Amino acid sequence: MKKNRILSLFLSMVLGASLLSVPALAAANPSTAAEGEVIQEVEDHQTASADQSQIIADMHVDAGSAILVDADTGEILYEQDAHTKRYPASITKVMTCLLTLEAVDRGELSLEDVVTASGSLHAGIGENASTADIKEGEQLRVIDLLYAALIPSANEACNVLAETVSGSVDAFVDLMNQRAAELGMTGTHFANTHGYHDDDHYTTAYDIYLMSAEAMKYETFRTIVSSKNYTMPATNMHEERIVRSTNGLISTFNVTGYWYEYAIGVKTGYTPEAGYCLSAAAEKNGKMLISVVMDCTRVEGTTGSEGFTYFSETVRLLNWGFSNFSQQVILDDSAMDFPEIAVTLSKEADYVTVHPSGALTITLPDDVDITSFERVVDCPETVEAPVEAGQVLGKVTMTYNGQEYGSLDLVANSAVERSELLYRLDQIQKFFSQLWVRVVLIVLAVVIVILILRALIFGKRRSSARSRYSGRRRR
């Protein structure tokens, strides 16, 4: 019996010690206490100036809305009411031709397919609309219809393309709105295929940039919108005809004084309600820019080729972009001054250093000092060994004036091996840290204590009983 008591006391002491050791182990090994915690640290090498670039501050475009974008990177260089909803007029035709080229790309039709203009070719088109004189029953190739829509801005060509792609104009307009949503054109709603005025037909300068950039990915589209003129072959109802570009940056046939040597597109637009609009693309020294101006007015009292501000302001905006912006590296893998990250479960090292993976190159105004960018570092306070060289341990984001300009992964500079002893001890500590294990241990401890107390109580009773029994026998 004494042996059983001693064994019970020993077990209770071990279990009690194990319960008390759990918080002690947790305190001694920070890998569990800090695991999952994330710190966000801002390193101010030189705090970014609160003042905006003077180059940008001094710029203003004589237009209701304007935007200038680096087409290669998608970076917005300048914007002015770029998300205000306005009427796009014939710039709408960019979406119509984009959808047609996408259908060709899917193999649903070809550029050489011959289609017949139906009685719906003038749907939604009022008087004085631009036209290529396409007639009902006329048979034309898809490629000729694309040129007619984009070069002389023929409204009826858009309706013929719509029926060719979707079977009906209405179904095609639904497709236009669906594609606009897919492209992120959140300020856009199309009511027709060509842009003839409708109060429910609107978009924004930013949205026009989105669809123009998408359309410019197609070589056929780029070839068409950069063409000064195009000869449409004879059809069953028409002799050979030459159509000429309405874009004064491309062609001097309609207006002179705006030709721009770097221009490669895109599309003009005008209605009394929309004003003068232009989506333009230009390439210079390997850089491509896309600009959009909307709701421009003609200089009052001008005649002939004078006063078309949507051309002159576009040229000024593009020249400004080419002259005042350049690509600069704001962070690369040579940067090493980042916080050390503590490493647990290793005997060979208690920290690891990190560096950025790759480089961040962005287009910036030439008067912006790249050392004024801030680094926002996001990484764990500690990591567990093993750590591999090149392992992603965090992220660094570059900001300027509160705007993010990109992020890079932070990777380990060296490897750190794990100590198997420390790892096993950590596994034991984690096991005993689990709530269900603690509950089981507490229940066992209580049971053992009860058993010990019961044994002690019953032991005393048996001892007393034996004493009394012995006394009676002696008498």
The residues annotated with a catalytic role in the active site are 90, 93, 153
CA-wise closest residue to 384 among 335, 323, 426: 426
Please report, for residues 102, 109, 165, 167, the alpha-carbon distance to residue 106 in angstroms, rounded to integers and kept in the order given. 6, 8, 11, 16
CA-wise closest residue to 109 among 60, 52, 167: 167
DSSP string, 47-108: PPPSSPPHHHHT---SSSEEEEEETTTTEEEEEESTTS-B--GGGGHHHHHHHHHHHHHTTS
Residue 461 in tokens: 């009773």
Q: How many CB atoms lie within 10 A of CB 374?
A: 18
Structural contact between residues 294 and 92, judged by C-beta atoms closer than 8 angstroms: no
CA-wise closest residue to 268 among 260, 259, 280: 280
Per-residue burial over 25-47, b = 16 or more CB atoms within 10 Å of its CB, e = otherwise: bbeebebbeeeeeeeeeeeeeee
The alpha carbon torsion through 46, 48, 51, 53 (nearest 10 deg) reads 100
Structural contact between residues 41 and 394, judged by C-beta atoms closer than 8 angstroms: no
Spell out the SS3 assignment of 225-254: HCCCEEEECCCCCCCCEEEECCCCCCCCCC
Please, what is the end-to-end C-alpha distance for the chain in angstroms? 29
Hey, is 19 helix, strand or coil? Answer: helix
Total number of residues shown for the chain: 475
CA-wise closest residue to 394 among 417, 416, 372, 376: 376
Q: How many CB atoms lie within 10 A of CB 435?
A: 7
Hey, is 112 helix, strand or coil? Answer: coil
Which spans in 296-410 are helix H? 309-324
